[in-house]
Structure 1
Amino acid sequence: MSSSNPSAPTPAPRAVLRRPTAAAKPATPACPAGMAAGVVPDAARGAVPGTANGTDRLRLNKRMAELGLCSRREADDWIAQGRVRVNGQVAPIGLRVTASDRIAVDKQARGAQRQRVTILLHKPMGYVSGQAEDGHRPAVALIDQRTHWRDDTSRNRFAPAQLRGLAPAGRLDIDSVGLLVLTQDGRVARQLIGADSTVDKEYLVRVQYGAVALDVRSVFPAGQLASLCHGLSLDGQPLKPAVVDWQNPEQLRFVLTEGRKRQIRRMCALVGLTVVGLKRVRIGRVRLGLLPAGQWRYLAADEQF
């Protein structure tokens, strides 16, 4: 029989160590059958400035447009038709999302989107860019099989359905000529004329200075040329910096990243120049090239603005 010492301290209970279990990761909803994944979370792809972060919420149509999936109008149509899912659930109209939400678009809708065309037209003088006005025909009236440039290398073939929803992405004045983009694709329109567009546009502009129409460069003050590059305002708003230089004694080259109404003509007027000819020769990386006046071609699949 063992004896115990009542005065001895009771030993503390031994701590039991357990291996910590890893927290279960939330499952990523599988892309439903017939749906194409439209977005990966920004945490994995790099957040886009101005877009939703992990906690901010944007309307779904705006988020889809910011990610380049479609235009807002197109997004609204798809949402109304039940073609968009967020985190595996059909998205209701008016839904707000965060950057981490997963967006998927019906494959049929994406397929229809790929059928939309973008057309490059060499607009001649006398045509308006948009709707017919003051008896002048719209530029879209030039788009038919007869005026399709025979040297177009695109595999697209003209069909009357391509005229539906075909609208100018930007404008050229009735008395200006050159490259005009018409598109059925809201993504292209947003890229070229959206508020956050950074696509630059290049113009060749023939000018005269007062009564001087020849060798204008020799009499035009250098300080005024600097003003054309930076420092002018229109309608009380300062213009973004531009690149303006002489191409020859009577012709200036303008490179702009914005498109105010009749901007170049008004800029020139502010420094005493009169525009006598204006031609747009480039939009982003797409050039007018050898495309004849009054003819058009398709934007090729491998061309990017």
Structure 2
Amino acid sequence: MNDTQGSRISKLMAERSLCSRREADAYIERGLVFVNGERITQLGTRAMPDAVITLAAEARATQARQVTILLHKPMSYVSGQAEDGHQPASSLISAKTQAAGSTQRFQLAHMKGLAPAGRLDIDSTGLLVLTQDGRVARQLIGDDSTVEKEYLVRVEGPLDSHDLALLNHGLELDGKQLRPAQVRWANEDQLCFVLKEGRKRQIRRMCELVGLRVTGLKRVRIGRVRLGDLSLGQWRFLRENERF
């Protein structure tokens, strides 16, 4: 270890998907992190990039208990904290709204530290991920995330081949070029968008730039996880064999 060289251990742990940086700091304070076999308890400690970092059994057990929830969010609910009189999506999560078929039952402990891993606008529906696991959050919304998000978007207005090409690549928002997208017609009045980023109200603003008006937006997939037949307002746990 070195106080001046290398990177902060919490940063290295997040980069290696061991946990989030916030979780790393909590584990370090509790003495649950080992670097090259040495227990670390001082926040801000640095290590070289090739350092061997491991978590104590207690920390691994804590991670094993963390849950990730998939919610079919209705309109009029906000993704995060309550705002402007609208309820947060997490308020929908209860034993009564859990979809049938899971062997794992809802407990109040599952709500502790549960946070949305990404946004879904108040006037949009579909798949919203909420998680206690910083590793999942970083995978889905970290700056270097490449996880695909798929949407069905009902639109009004004409769309020629040139504007469709612009939706796929060539638009910018707030002075910043958008990453390439995959946009195609799903049927006569719905477009299918596949994005690898999540700028604020991105799809609606993209459509406005080419003269389209969005009348409905539903997220149907995040990575390899699909909304499937999850009913509106219901939720389920991410299964052990599922990966984003």
- In the superposition, the TM-score normalised over structure 2's length comes to 0.96
1:117 corresponds to which of 58, 61, 67: 67
TM-superposed CA distance for 1:96, in Å, is 1.1
2:137 maps to which residue?
Answer: 189
Q: How does 1:166-177 map to 2 (within 5 A)?
A: 166-177=114-125
Give the Cα separation in 1 of the matches to 2:155 and 2:145.
28
Give the Cα separation in 2 of the matches to 1:160 and 1:253.
37
Give the Cα separation in 1 of the matches to 2:52 and 2:184.
47
1:266 maps to which residue?
Answer: 205
1:206 aligns with 2:154: yes
2:31 maps to which residue?
Answer: 82
Q: Secondary structure of the residue that 1:100 maps to in structure 2?
A: coil
Gaps of 5+ in 1: 1-55, 210-218
Give the Cα separation in 1 of the matches to 2:238 and 2:114.
13
1:157 aligns with 2:157: no
Q: What letter is aligned with 2:9? A: L
1:63 maps to which residue?
Answer: 12
Give the Cα separation in 2 of the matches to 1:88 and 1:300.
33
Q: Indicate the RMSD between aligned Cα atoms, in angstroms.
A: 0.9
Give the Cα separation in 1 of the matches to 2:190 and 2:55.
49
TM-superposed CA distance for 1:167, in Å, is 0.5
Q: Give the number of the structure whose alpha-carbon radius of gyration is greater.
A: 1
1:104 maps to which residue?
Answer: 54
1:134 maps to which residue?
Answer: 84
Give the Cα separation in 1 of the matches to 2:185 and 2:34.
53
Q: Secondary structure of the residue that 2:205 maps to in structure 1?
A: helix
Q: Deviations over 1:78-106 (max 9, x none)?
A: 10111112122221221111232221211
Q: Is the 8 A contact 2:159 2:210 kept in 1?
A: no
1:143 aligns with 2:82: no
Deviating 4+ runs (over 6 angstroms):
none
Give the Cα separation in 2 of the matches to 1:220 and 1:108.
56
1:256 maps to which residue?
Answer: 195
TM-superposed CA distance for 1:254, in Å, is 0.2
Give the Cα separation in 1 of the matches to 2:183 and 2:119.
20
Q: What letter is aligned with 2:94? A: D
Q: Deviations over 1:93-121 (max 9, x none)?
A: 21111232221211011101110100000
2:238 maps to which residue?
Answer: 299
Q: Secondary structure of the residue that 1:220 maps to in structure 2?
A: coil
Gaps of 5+ in 2: none
Q: Secondary structure of the residue that 1:147 maps to in structure 2?
A: coil
TM-superposed CA distance for 1:295, in Å, is 0.1
Bigger RCO of structures 1 and 2 (CA < 8 A, at least 6 apart): 2
Work out the percentage of aligned pairs sharing the same amino acid. Answer: 62
Give the Cα separation in 2 of the matches to 1:229 and 1:200.
14
TM-superposed CA distance for 1:170, in Å, is 0.3
- In the superposition, the TM-score normalised over structure 1's length comes to 0.77
